[in-house]
């Protein structure tokens, strides 16, 4: 089976040439964190996984579904997000199930807050990152973590700048930006209004 690491290598090289901040969430990142030989170096903010780390691009289920590749673009600019989507399309192709998403525009959160029982709010069962609604008139700060909210509707809290800080995952000669390892745990525990998903419980224990 194809190794997800090999699929990600050209993507990592392409992103390294772009002035765009992204984070690889889940998938390879999780596989590295649960590996017993992985080293977490807090001083250099680096997660060093074994060079032979292997994660098949297909899950071991009856349908042989493709693994997910979730990429957070640390921007609310649709042009920037689209640029990352093009890069992913060119480098990853259909080898993984891709999801590229950015910081949600504040107008979506404002709409939810105005219509708490409307369709937009009631369908929001997953947590997300929003530009802070108080910063609608400060476009220079829309991509600053200090002006964002993490919301699992109807609850929301300001985002601490450290929570969006990027670390580096190193697997051999491949280097990709990932969230702080602690945030990987938080992302799993706060991703859904129903709580931790059954398929994620085993990973969290490890």
Residue 83 pLDDT > 50, yes or no? yes
Which has the higher per-residue pLDDT, 152 or 174? 174
Angle at 186 between CA 172 and CA 136, to 5 degrees: 105
Whether the Cβ atoms of residue 53 and residue 174 lie closer than 8 Å to each other: no
d(CA 173, CA 183): 24
Phi/psi at 131 (5° precision): -65, 135
Assess whether pLDDT exceeds 80 at residue 145. no
Q: Which of 4-18, 92-106, 145-159 has the highest mean pLDDT?
A: 4-18
The pLDDT, as a whole number, for residue 182 is 85
CA distance to 37, 52, 61, 68, 178, per residue, from 170 (Å): 13, 11, 28, 19, 10
* pLDDT the model gives residue 176: 95
Residue 156 pLDDT > 70: no
Give the pLDDT of residue 175.
96
What pLDDT, on a 0 to 100 scale, did the predictor assign at position 151?
61
| Whether 109 contacts 136, CB under 8 Å | no
Instruction: Supply the pLDDT for residue 190.
Output: 62
Reported as a single tens digit per residue, the pLDDT across 36-63 is 999 999 999 999 999 999 999 998 887 8
Query: Whole-angstrom Cα distance, residue 157 to residue 132?
Result: 10
- Tell me the pTM: 0.76
pLDDT of residue 90 exceeding 90, the answer is: yes
Per-residue model confidence (pLDDT) at position 3 = 95
Nearest CA-CA partner of 136 in 111, 165, 162: 111
What one-character-per-residue DSSP string does 63-97 give?
T-PBPEEEEEES---HHHHHHHHHHHHHHTTTSSE
Q: Compare 48 and 160 and report the one with higher pLDDT.
A: 48
Which pLDDT score is estimated for 137?
41
């Amino acid at each position: 089976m194809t190794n997800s690491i090999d699929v990600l290598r050209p993507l990592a090289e392409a992103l390294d040439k772009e002035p765009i901040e992204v984070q690889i969430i889940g998938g390879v990142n999780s596989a590295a964190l649960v590996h017993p030989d992985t080293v977490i170096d807090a001083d250099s903010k680096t997660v060093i996984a074994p060079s032979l780390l292997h994660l098949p691009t297909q899950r071991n289920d009856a349908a042989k579904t493709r693994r997910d590749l979730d990429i957070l673009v640390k921007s609310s600019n649709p042009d920037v997000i689209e640029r990352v989507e093009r890069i992913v399309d060119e480098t990853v192709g259909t080898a993984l199930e891709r999801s590229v998403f950015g910081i949600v525009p504040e107008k979506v959160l404002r709409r939810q807050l105005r219509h708490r029982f409307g369709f937009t709010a009631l369908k929001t069962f997953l947590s997300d990152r929003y530009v802070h609604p108080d910063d609608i008139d400060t476009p220079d700060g829309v991509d600053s973590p200090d002006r964002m909210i993490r919301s699992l509707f109807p609850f929301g809290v300001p985002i601490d700048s450290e929570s969006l800080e990027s670390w580096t995952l190193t697997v051999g000669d491949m280097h990709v930006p990932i969230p702080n390892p602690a945030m990987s745990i938080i992302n799993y525990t706060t991703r859904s209004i129903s709580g931790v998903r059954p398929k994620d419980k085993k990973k969290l224990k490890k």
